[in-house]
Amino acid sequence: MNITIEKMKSSDFNQLFDFETKNKAFFEKYVPSRGEDYFNYETFVERNNLLLESQKQGKDYFFVIRNEENRIIGRVNLMDIDYDYKKKTAYIGYRVDEQYTGKGVATKGVERLVEFAIDLGITQLFAQTTDRNLGAQEVMTKTGFVAVDAVPETVTLKGEELRFLTFRRVLS
């Protein structure tokens, strides 16, 4: 599947809101909810404008993943960038439309995000997923990340105890 990845911009908000709303129940199977207020369009725009401001300052970068029809089918993000000369670390996160899972979209998105991180001079990337999200764990290992830790605290999601796993990829 051919995809494109581009930095998120305000003109993406309508389509991005549809993407998030459509996939809300699917995403919440694997990660805690973003909260009901996130799915109020005005709140959604406010929150995403804050992300764009952070992106403008170079603190975080937020990308949309588009299919051949130019529809948003995912997101991939580079966050909490630490430019300290000794660290140069960042965290990644992503989510993909349920109907596009298992088609390499997440893997390609993460690979392109890694390239972007290398261009920024980042030397280590971290990611977290739950012990239940086997698909995300597979994406991490396919893209060169190694599991390095399990967060000791658990979270309860739909009555099930979950533990977050931390993955790391050394870039240089």
Domain architecture of the chain: domains with CATH? 4-125 (3.40.630.30)
| C-beta separation of 36 from 91 below 8 A | no
Report the alpha-carbon distance of residue 72 to residue 23 in Å, rounded.
Answer: 12
Q: Are strands 146-157 and 160-170 parallel, antiparallel or unpaired?
A: antiparallel
Say if residue 64's pLDDT is above 90: yes
Which positions ≥6 away from 104 have C-beta within 8 Å? Answer: 1
pLDDT of residue 21: 96
Say if residue 151's pLDDT is above 90: no
Section 158-172 average pLDDT: 88
Which residues of 13-145 form beta strands (DSSP E)?
Answer: 61-66, 72-82, 89-96, 124-130
Confirm whether pTM is higher than 0.75. yes
